[in-house]
Amino acid sequence: MEPGSIAVVGAAETTQLGVIADVSVLGLHADAALNAIQDAGLTVADIDGVATAGISPVDLAYYLGISPIYADGTMVGGCSFMMLLRHAAAAINEGLCNTVLITHAESGRSRIDAGVFPRTPSSLVGQFQQPYGVYVASTVFTIPALRYMKTYGATEEDLARVAVVQRQWAARNPRASFRNPITISDVLDSAMIAWPFRKLMCCLVTDGGGALILTSAARARDLQQKPVYVLGTGEAVDSPLIDQMENFTSSKAFRASGAKAFQEAGISHAEVDHLMVYDAFAHIPLYGLEDLGFVGRGEAKDFVREGQTGTGGQLPMNTNGGGLSYMHSGMYGMYALQESVRQMRGTAPAQVEGAKISVCHGVGGWFSAAGTIIFSNEMPT
């Protein structure tokens, strides 16, 4: 896509985040959508494209009273929203529609009409993973980590430090679920979930949602919010079976998605002021830093230890606190996108002063998919 041709003109999360015991999944989608439409200064009549994952875009459009001429239900897990944004940008540029609403919501904790994503016993996952005790994310997404740790000499302390640094960011975010400071010892003393992963190395399980509104940069100029331009986009898929990843020290999907986004944006890594890497577990940001090309192989642990991803570091990362501390409803990608948009608008609670370019990278389906969006608050010259 042409860098800067599309802008985010509306962005909002659900009114509440955390434990929302009185709203269904569909209700959370609607709440986020209405908040984002209001944020953009638009009405539902202005929306002619809908995109969502986890529920059908048909449900979303009907419920909100939208009659769309574009609908996308791409569902690849937590990075679906990066892909939906990428597809919407292409659709708007192609003239398929003008203004696209993208929503996410899950009742991850309260489970009010929570989505179920069953695998049949004859699917690839049903035949070749589930017989061995795989079920929740902690039983499978975590498996590559030991190989990464052995290859690069990363330790349990290095994993713990990712959670510690992100908690420092969360402390600055009033909406973050966990804000109290933690130490490496706190992390290493927390309950064992799936060795080497302790509880504080694993994401939260909460309720919430978020929505984005995209339109052309030309139309964005007439709207009330400062446009957040899309500079570049990437997406990739790998294997539904984690054991079939080419190599457990790196994600092929991360590399392909990131490279495409950087190539489209035409920027260098040195120009990036802010980074979001979907952190369902503490090892994912380490893979992200390396596979996106910010640091060399095996260097991510040192980069984090030097404080470079923390407050005052050269590459502030996961500044909302991430899935480890901010919130995680199941498919976290939307919240990473929301934080990138806030940083580009200059409205983030833990604002990175002067930030002009934000990279937002998502993972889906336990390393099986990836999506990358590069934003800027300046139209590229």
The contact set with another protein (CB under 8 A) reads 120-122, 124, 126-136, 138-140, 142-147, 150, 191-197, 241-244, 248
Question: What residues are paired with 215 via a beta bridge?
Answer: 7
Query: How near is the Cβ of 201 to another protein at its closest, in Å?
Result: 12
Question: The tokens of 47 are what?
Answer: 């929306």
Residue closer to another protein (CB basis): 143 or 259: 143
Token pair for residue 35?
């908040």
11 vs 140 by CB, closer to another protein: 140
Write down the least CB distance from residue 121 to another protein, Å: 4
Q: What size, in residues, is the chain?
A: 381
The side-by-side arrangement of strands in the sheet containing 228-237 is 70-72, 49-52, 100-107, 207-216, 6-13, 228-237, 369-376, 357-364, 274-277
User: Cβ closer to another protein: 139 or 311?
Assistant: 139
Minimum Å gap between C-beta 120 and another protein is 7
Which string of b and e fits 194-218 if b means at least 16 CB within 10 Å?
bebbbebbbbbbbbbbbbbbbbbbe
Catalytic residues: 278, 326
Type of residue at 333: G
What are the backbone angles phi and psi of residue 340, rounded to the nearest 5°? -60, -40
For the beta carbon of residue 59, count every other beta carbon within 10 angstroms.
15
Report DSSP letters for 65-89, one per residue: T---SEEE----STTHHHHHHHHHH
Q: Which is nearer to another protein, 70 or 248 (CB)?
A: 248
Phi, psi angles (nearest 5°) of residue 313:
-80, 170
- Comparing CB distances to another protein, the nearer of 140 and 162 is 140
Q: Please name the helix (run of DSSP H) or strand (run of DSSP E) that holds residue 58, with its range, or none.
A: helix 57-64
Least separation in angstroms between CB 327 and another protein: 22
- Give the integer Cα–Cα distance in Å for 100 and 89: 9
**CB of 111 vs another protein, minimal distance in Å:** 18
